[in-house]
Structure 1
């Protein structure tokens, strides 16, 4: 009997995704079944749709971010979990080393069935109490982007309250969290984007200054205004790295959690070593990072910026918006 709707990958059709009726999953002894109240898109979902993610398999339910209510529990799960309102940590098998993930690390939503469905099953150790100050839509928008931003900023970036911080590409999911987290930490935060409306939103949430990176003189303006940055959080790399090296202070840290513009065509190695600049890679986060991120957003009452909420019937429109990169914050799907 088919009991749930899910957004699955289907590379044989033009849209590459479709809404299908699926049977409710069987639970293992340490698993829980969550009725999804809201789910959110990440770039990896669209990359799966475009065939740009490894290990793709048709028929797999996409989605890494979600929040909902536990409706059923496995035989070894404590009864107290029934009816809990939870969000899901989508990172699995990080491993015991906090420095980097294990070779078995994977993310919910490919190759395992994900959150873009009426129901999702996960191991009980992947669920956490939904933050009380968030709506379902906000809670669903938090997990993957939140933990990625937290690790880049706090763990790899070693953020200090006295730091001057630049968050590039403001408007994307991780970038909006990085900016909000750094502002809450008391740092002087600046954001960059090619969109004037996104820059305006950055100012509204507390950025001290904004820069349009399509302005060829933005680096000189940034240096004049700030004297340079102690920490830069970036996901673009490519040819933009040269500009970031221009505006980072001696001894500064450039943390990158993506490379949407590809590899840098060249690197000013002399400037990097002479100025003691650190280039640091970062991705997702450990279970400890996730718990620390949750504690921070709950204490500071930080709320994700939600761009738009779509019904499952409009999921192709939601993916298309993610592809265009027009969103200000997270795109949310309601099953």
Structure 2
């Protein structure tokens, strides 16, 4: 099978498309012929930070849609020809406060979905949402699940509340925008790009302003109940000042520096809530699928790249050119 492989050199220079061995599924495993493989910033981190050229070759990728091509003899949930999506979380079945010990994400350290076929146990697949195309389903799981848990499991978002999404543009926050609007929330976004602000307003945002502007002035008259923070040190204290007293910040990532400083006295006098969030369980994935089916939500797709344009796609997401999801067409 053809696959996007990282080996031999560090960083993007180690990316290549090559033939890899195609295996046969074991008794409880399913082989999926990949149609579309969604790309996430995690894939960029794998090839630029976590996986080194001297390490054994790895196939990145956590998301995919495809068709069941072969099943092991003990598989009961799926049959040949089923349209499915890959659950990017390995070993987190039931909802819990934190992922269980040993939780991993597809695509590192083991091989991922940027290949013509992918094999996993039947517990790590779900049927494709019927209202989505294969391209839309292929860019769904990781980012949409992350947004769903951050908003609802951790953030406890309710209809009528106001949620703020600094740094709109990536997959998770574009899903968070659509989910929050479907729930009946007011949504405020920021971006460094005027074009992305326009795209966010077109996608349903109620208010949008530049990240480098005066947040306090822009938020006059607003009461932010929940803020989803994914930028890190560059905006964290502005985010804290943006939330109403007693409000909540949920953070799932950091695109700038990881370490932040805060005035702890202001924090506890403000009765703020600061919560971490990481992707989600298979139980939450199924709840998310039911949510998007009920509300007929479709992913925001920016671009789908052909398989042989791997380095171009990684550069595109590195430079944050996308509004919404990108992916690879595998078949």
TM-score range, shorter chain: over 0.9
Contact 1:172 1:327 in 2 (8 A): yes
2:9 alignment partner, one of 9, 12, 15: 12
Partners of 1:165 and 1:232 within 8 A in 2:
yes
Is residue 289 of structure 1 aligned with residue 307 of structure 2? no
Query: How big is the shift at 1:57?
Result: 4.0
The answer to whether the 8 A contact 2:95-2:280 is kept is: no
What is the RMSD of the two structures over their aligned residues, measured on CA atoms?
A: 1.8
Give the corresponding residue for 1:191. Answer: 189
3-state DSSP class of the match of 1:283? coil
Whole-Å Cα distance in 2 between the matches of residues 203 and 15 of structure 1? 37
Mapping for residues 14-33 of structure 1, pairs under 5 Å: 15-33=13-31
Shift of 1:25: 1.6
Contact 2:38–2:138 (CA<8 Å) still a contact in 1?
yes
Match of 1:29, SS state, is coil
Change (3 A) 1:305 1:97: closer
Show structure 1 runs of 5+ residues with no match: none
CA contact (8 A) 1:46 1:323 kept: yes
Q: Judging changes above 3 Å, is the alpha-carbon distance between structure 1 residues 171 and 268 closer, same or farther for their aligned structure 2 residues?
A: same
Match of 2:218 among 199, 203, 221: 221
What's the TM-score, normalizing by structure 2? 0.95
SS at match of 2:66: strand
Map 1:91-240; keep pairs closer than 5 Å.
Answer: 91-94=89-92, 98-215=96-213, 217-222=214-219, 224-226=220-222, 228-240=223-235
For 2:56 and 2:319, locate their aligned partners in 1 and report how far apart those are by CA, in whole Å: 24
Deviation at 1:30? 0.7
The answer to whether the Cα contact below 8 Å between 1:33 and 1:119 also exists between their aligned partners in 2 is yes
Whole-angstrom distance in 2 between the partners of 1:136 and 1:48: 25
Greater mean alpha carbon deviation, residues 75-84 or residues 202-211 = 75-84
2:87–2:141 contact (8 Å) kept in structure 1: yes
1:315 — aligned with what?
310
Alignment match, 2:60: 62
Matched positions, count: 329
- TM-score normalised to the size of structure 1? 0.94
